[in-house]
């Protein structure tokens, strides 16, 4: 008897026709049935005459399946056993407590993401370096693109292309001449024939992330393009969306990011984005998280199919500080996936300090949202920048982000929200509806302020005070207090005080 674990992948493959266009002319479906669920899924052609169908079971126990399709081998049935999930398998991600996240097994998830847009398309050496950095455990979400990327620092051809055909010549491309306004002459693609090797590269990345407990925030469309992948016809787009869903949906750690900077995809209209969303809602049996990321204009995050707000800052000075307002506006989790990167490139979106990026993470998190990292240090010799290629990390913020995650993990309930506080501090308190009335846990954060002390008034109960140095990554005991009391601080930036009621 075959087995798979709960929230693992059960895959059935069959041989079938190679002639004609298997991507458009053949069909394969399966129905998976267990005691508690009946799931219909669509298969896909993986090249070399092989067709596959993938399923992620949500329950333990016995399952059967029935295949059907357009060719003789696309029939048959079988059964398998779903075992308990392994230790690090908590299932797919769900929205929890309205503004937060938890795995399907209810384990809380405090998102600390990073972005390596084009890491899936890099040579093996860089790929291995990226994995070594991810092994250090700084991050628990990664944003990256299915399509290759054409942009400053991204003129090399990807290792593979998503379609059969040949790309435009990339010699002569440079930062000097980069533009979004590309006509795609010189490209020769068959947009009805996928290159399975390209999609297997993406799947390898998803799996490598899954093995490390990292969510794969998959960016399905984006505007950084010299090949025409951003300007296909609606029929070509839809074929792509169906193919992507049938290949990737069974991976438990997948999040669907419909686009990066959707508003720079100038030829796509709102109706297009809504059509992609409809395809996704109809064809993803597992209801993975769905978002659309902006450059300038926010998408309408009140749309019911959007599970969380994936935001890029719209302001150079205030962004994560709007977290609490945007929670109120949209009533969904706020994830700041782009708030400028630690680095030193010429662009303002890529040259803030590790201190400032860490500050933004803390502001976002204490206000009941989440933030994402990126790194853009110039590399004149190899032009490898973490934000796009992966490779090696050079900055100071990743260790601090991991420390923030540790602090967040000590939070009672599911996440924080902004509590009552004065004008010059950000106070995070538990956002759990079942938390004890009146709180009992609060983190006071002073950002770029440098107080030498702060006074607190707690008429009721005994409160344990701890001084958190968010940059030095230390938590220092500051005694147990009641009534009006003063906590001495070192008069430096990026400090916090955590108060926990102990009786």
Q: Measure the CA–CA gap between 70 and 133, rounded to whole angstroms.
A: 45
CB atoms within 10 A of CB 172: 7
Q: Does 128 bind a second copy (CB under 8 A)?
A: no
Q: How far is the CB of 486 from a second copy (least distance, A)?
A: 9
Residue among 353 and 482 whose Cβ is closer to a second copy: 353
With CB under 8 A as the contact rule, the residue among 38, 269, 318, 406 that binds a second copy is: 318
Which residue stretches of 332-435 are H helix?
354-366, 386-389, 397-409
Q: Does 93 bind a second copy (CB under 8 A)?
A: no
Residue among 423 and 437 whose Cβ is closer to a second copy: 423
Dihedrals phi, psi of 428, to nearest 5 degrees: -105, 130
Q: How far is the CB of 484 from a second copy (least distance, A)?
A: 7
Name residue 8's beta-bridge partners: none
Q: Does 295 bind a second copy (CB under 8 A)?
A: no
List the structure tokens of 386: 């973490």
Residue among 420 and 455 whose Cβ is closer to a second copy: 455
With CB under 8 A as the contact rule, the residue among 317, 328, 434, 503 that binds a second copy is: 317
- Which of 97-105, 270-278, 329-337, 344-352 is the region at the interface with a second copy (rule: CB under 8 A)? 344-352
Which residues make Cβ contacts (< 8 Å) with residue 356, sequence separation at least 6? 340
Q: How far is the CB of 191 from a second copy (least distance, A)?
A: 34
Residue among 382 and 484 whose Cβ is closer to a second copy: 484
With CB under 8 A as the contact rule, the residue among 169, 462, 484, 502 that binds a second copy is: 484
Q: Does 297 bind a second copy (CB under 8 A)?
A: no
Q: How far is the CB of 448 from a second copy (least distance, A)?
A: 6
Query: By the 8 A CB rule, do 107 and 7 touch?
Result: no
Residue among 343 and 369 whose Cβ is closer to a second copy: 343
Q: Does 107 bind a second copy (CB under 8 A)?
A: no
Q: Measure the CA–CA gap between 333 and 49, rounded to whole angstroms.
A: 43
Q: Does 349 bind a second copy (CB under 8 A)?
A: yes
Of 450, 448, 461, 460, the closest CA to residue 489 belongs to 450
User: In 68-89, which positions are buried (b, 16+ CB within 10 angstroms) versus exposed (e)?
Assistant: ebebeebeeeeebbbeebeeeb
Q: Scanning the structure block, which residue is given the tokens 């308190």?
A: 429
Q: How far is the CB of 346 from a second copy (least distance, A)?
A: 5
Query: By the 8 A CB rule, do 372 and 336 touch?
Result: yes
Side-chain half-sphere exposure of 270, counting CA atoms within 13 A: 6
- Which of 200-208, 302-310, 349-357, 467-475 is the region at the interface with a second copy (rule: CB under 8 A)? 349-357
Q: Measure the CA–CA gap between 352 and 371, rounded to whole angstroms.
A: 15
**DSSP character string of 20-63:** S-HHHH--EEEEEEESS-EEEEE-EE-STTEEEEEE--SS-EEE
With CB under 8 A as the contact rule, the residue among 9, 50, 231, 378 that binds a second copy is: 378
**Binding pattern for the stretch 175-214 against a second copy, x by CB under 8 A and - elsewhere:** -x--------------------------------------
With CB under 8 A as the contact rule, the residue among 195, 351, 482, 500 that binds a second copy is: 351
Residue among 40 and 321 whose Cβ is closer to a second copy: 321
Beta strands in 150-271 (DSSP E): 163-166, 188-194, 215-221, 254-259
Kindly state the number of chain residues that form the binding site for a second copy, as judged by CB under 8 A: 34
Q: Measure the CA–CA gap between 343 and 346, rounded to whole angstroms.
A: 9
Residue among 92 and 451 whose Cβ is closer to a second copy: 451
- Which of 138-146, 208-216, 351-359, 473-481 is the region at the interface with a second copy (rule: CB under 8 A)? 351-359
List the structure tokens of 446: 């002073």
Q: Does 381 bind a second copy (CB under 8 A)?
A: no
Which residues make Cβ contacts (< 8 Å) with residue 376, sequence separation at least 6? 341, 342, 343, 344, 345, 347, 350, 351, 385, 386, 387
Name which of residues 142 to 181 contact a second copy (CB under 8 A). Answer: 176
Residue among 434 and 455 whose Cβ is closer to a second copy: 455
Name which of residues 420 to 459 contact a second copy (CB under 8 A). Answer: 422-425, 446, 448-455
Q: How far is the CB of 454 from a second copy (least distance, A)?
A: 5
List the structure tokens of 216: 């794969």
Residues that bind a second copy (CB under 8 A): 176, 315-318, 321, 343-349, 351-353, 356, 378, 422-425, 446, 448-455, 484, 491, 493
């Amino acid at each position: 008897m075959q087995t798979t674990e709960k929230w693992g992948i059960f895959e059935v493959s069959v041989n079938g026709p190679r002639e004609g266009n298997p991507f458009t002319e053949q069909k394969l479906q399966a129905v998976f049935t267990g005691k508690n669920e009946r799931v219909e899924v669509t298969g896909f052609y993986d090249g070399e005459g092989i067709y596959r169908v993938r399923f992620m079971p949500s329950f333990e126990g016995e399952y059967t399946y029935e295949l059907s399709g357009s060719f003789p081998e696309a029939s048959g049935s079988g059964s398998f056993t779903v075992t308990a999930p392994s230790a690090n398998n908590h299932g797919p991600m769900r929205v929890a407590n309205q503004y937060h996240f938890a795995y399907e097994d209810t384990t809380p998830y405090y998102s600390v993401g990073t972005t390596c847009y084009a890491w899936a398309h890099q040579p093996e050496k860089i790929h291995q370096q990226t994995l070594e950095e991810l092994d250090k455990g700084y991050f628990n979400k990664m944003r990256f693109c299915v399509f290759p990327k054409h942009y400053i620092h991204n003129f090399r051809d990807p290792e593979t292309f998503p379609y059969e055909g040949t790309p435009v010549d990339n010699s002569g491309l440079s930062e000097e001449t980069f533009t979004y306004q590309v006509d795609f002459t010189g490209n020769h693609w068959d947009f009805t024939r996928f290159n399975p090797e390209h999609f297997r590269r993406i799947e390898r990345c998803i799996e490598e992330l899954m093995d490390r407990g990292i969510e794969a925030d998959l960016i399905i469309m984006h505007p950084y393009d010299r090949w025409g992948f951003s300007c296909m016809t609606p029929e070509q787009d839809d074929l792509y969306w169906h193919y992507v869903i049938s290949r990737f949906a069974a991976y438990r750690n997948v999040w669907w990011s419909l686009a990066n900077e959707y508003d720079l995809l100038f030829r796509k209209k709102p109706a297009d984005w809504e059509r992609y969303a409809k395809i996704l809602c109809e064809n993803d049996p597992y209801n993975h998280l769905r978002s659309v990321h902006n450059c300038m204009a926010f998408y309408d995050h009140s749309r019911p199919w959007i599970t969380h707000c994936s935001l890029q800052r719209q302001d150079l000075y205030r962004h994560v500080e709007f977290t609490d307002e945007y929670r109120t506006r949209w009533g969904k989790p706020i994830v700041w996936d782009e708030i400028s990167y630690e680095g030193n490139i010429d662009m303002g979106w890529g040259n803030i300090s590790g201190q400032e990026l860490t500050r933004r993470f803390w502001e976002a998190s204490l206000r009941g949202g989440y933030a994402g990292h990126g790194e853009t240090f110039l590399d004149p010799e190899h032009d490898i920048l973490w934000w796009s290629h992966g490779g090696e990390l050079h900055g100071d913020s990743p260790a601090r982000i991991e420390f923030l995650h540790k602090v967040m993990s000590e939070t009672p309930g599911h996440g924080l929200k902004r509590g009552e506080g004065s004008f010059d501090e950000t106070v995070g308190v538990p956002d759990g509806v079942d938390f004890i009335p009146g709180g009992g846990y609060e983190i006071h954060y002073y950002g770029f302020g440098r107080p030498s002390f702060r006074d607190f008034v707690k008429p009721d109960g005994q409160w344990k005070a701890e001084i958190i140095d968010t940059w030095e990554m230390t938590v220092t005991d500051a005694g147990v207090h009641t009534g009006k009391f003063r906590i001495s601080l070192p008069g430096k930036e990026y400090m916090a005080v955590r108060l926990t009621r102990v009786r």
